[in-house]
Structures are given as C-alpha cells and as structure tokens.
Amino acid sequence: MQDEQLLRYSRQIMLPEFDYHGQQALLDARVLIVGVGGLGSPVALYLAAAGVGHLVLVDDDVVDFSNLQRQVAHDEGSIDVPKVQSAAKRISQLNSDIKVSCLAERLAGDAMLEQVALADVVVDCTDNQITRSSLNKACWQSKTPLVSGAAIRFEGQLSVFDPRQDNTPCYACLHHHTADRDVTCAANGVISPIVGVIGTMQALETIKLLAGVGEVAVGKLLMFDGLAGQWRSFGLPKLPQCQVCGGME
Ligand SMILES: [Zn+2]
C-alpha cells in the first residue's frame, strides 16, 4: 500500500479488527454491483470511498428525472445518461484510486455467469425477480457470495447468501416464502432514505465479507420498518426441496 492510500484509508486501518490486512483485502477485491439505482447508488459510493479496488457496475437504464429523489449517485446533469456512466463519473470524482467497469446492459445467461464468477462478492440492487433469481443461480453455480437487498414504501430487507458455507439457504429459499411479491418503487413508491439505509447496510455486509470481519447476515433475514424505526432479524431456513441450493443432500 502506498503512503497516500495509508492516509486516505487511515480511519479504517486504525480499527483493530480491520487493520492493514482488511484494507488490502478491499483494495484487491472485485465487486459486481447489479443495478445502479436507489440501492446501487449508496452501495457503489460507499464501496468506492472505502477503497474496493475494482467495481463492476451493471445497469441497462438511463437516468430519469423521477430517479433523482433517491438515486444519489446521479444528478440533474445526468438525465438521459446511462446510469452506469453517470455513477462511474461520480465515483471517479470521489476516488480516482480505484477501477470502475461499466456494463450498460441487462446481464443474463453466460455473460452473467462469467461476471459473477469473476467477482469476489455480488451485490443485488435490482428490483425485478427474474434478474434476482438468475443472479442467485449464477452465484450458487460459481460459489460467489451474494448480498441481497430490497426497499419499498417505508420498508426494507437485507440478507446475505454464501454458497461457500454448508447448509445455508439461498435467495430461492427466501423467495419461496414471499413468492407473491414482485413489487417495484415505480408502482408502490418508496421514501427516499429507505434505499440509503438498506444500500448502506449492503455495502457494510460486502466489506465484512471481503475483509473477513464480524458476523455476516447469512441464514438471516433482516427487516427494517422505517415507520416504527425498528430492525427485526428472522432465521432463514434452507428449504429441503430447493432447486437451486439443493437442500436434499
Ligand atoms: Zn435455496
């Protein structure tokens, strides 16, 4: 690590459980962020600021005026600009020390599997079930940890799925219990800071996974009720009949 990096990241390096090795792990890491909207904005900005060495941003959408209420990586000058390009510009102003790759496409099939396999952690910041389910399958296939978040109205939820650990559930195990819901902010609304609360937690869980510190939310579903100002934690069982994580074995 260079002197400038030691200075830039000094407030993290001084944490005894994180230390020099934690920072080096972040600098060496490649993180795939799928969706650069409400959740993806704080995830990308905090991981960039914290010094994750290589961020791969995926989003096929352009910035819309109605996005600015919550998607804080973008600004008024970014209307109609691809979200990956707008976020990459902001990140380069925040931290020119890290590498950013942009994929302005809807990732699917072999291209998705390839990107997931290259990543140390995948952060799911999308709002549609098809992409969520295929990301989950790709993560399980390549044994890549997945940090999943969702936000709607005044509520949010978060969970980490880690295929490297035995007997842990996957996103499909969770989705089985909530199968009736394909809810989007466009149809249901969301209060601005909720995506910040959940996205920031996703960034934190990602850093913990990369640096190997603390207790990651594997096998747990954390739910935030913004109106009550309360977090709740639920145990998330592995489904014996799950077709993705194969709980039968
Ligand atoms: Zn499963």
Per-residue model confidence as pLDDT tens digits over 61-76: 999 999 999 999 999 9
What is the residue extent of each domain of the chain? 3-235
Distance CA 132, CA 155 (A): 19
Q: What is the distance in A from the centroid of ligand 1 to the CA of 239?
A: 6
pLDDT at 246: 83
Q: What is the distance in A from the centroid of ligand 1 to the CA of 246?
A: 7
242 is catalytic: no
Q: What is the distance in A from the centroid of ligand 1 to the CA of 150?
A: 18
pLDDT at 176: 73
Domain spanning 3-235: CATH superfamily: NAD(P)-binding Rossmann-like Domain (3.40.50.720)
Regions of the chain where pLDDT drops below 50: 249
Per-residue model confidence as pLDDT tens digits over 197-214: 999 999 999 999 999 999
Q: Which two tokens stand for residue 125?
A: 């910041």
Distance set, CA 106 to CA 20, 30, 61, 184 (Å): 36, 19, 9, 17
Which residues pair with residue 214 across a beta bridge? none
Classify 141 as helix, strand or coil: helix
Alpha-carbon dihedral angle through residues 243, 57, 91, 197, given to the nearest 10 degrees: -30
Q: Which distant-in-sequence residues (6+ apart) come within 8 Å of 31 by Cβ?
A: 47, 52, 54, 55, 56, 119, 120, 121, 122, 123, 206, 210
pLDDT at 185: 75
pLDDT at 175: 79
pLDDT at 249: 47
User: Of 139, 185, 242, 245, which is the active-site residue?
Assistant: 185
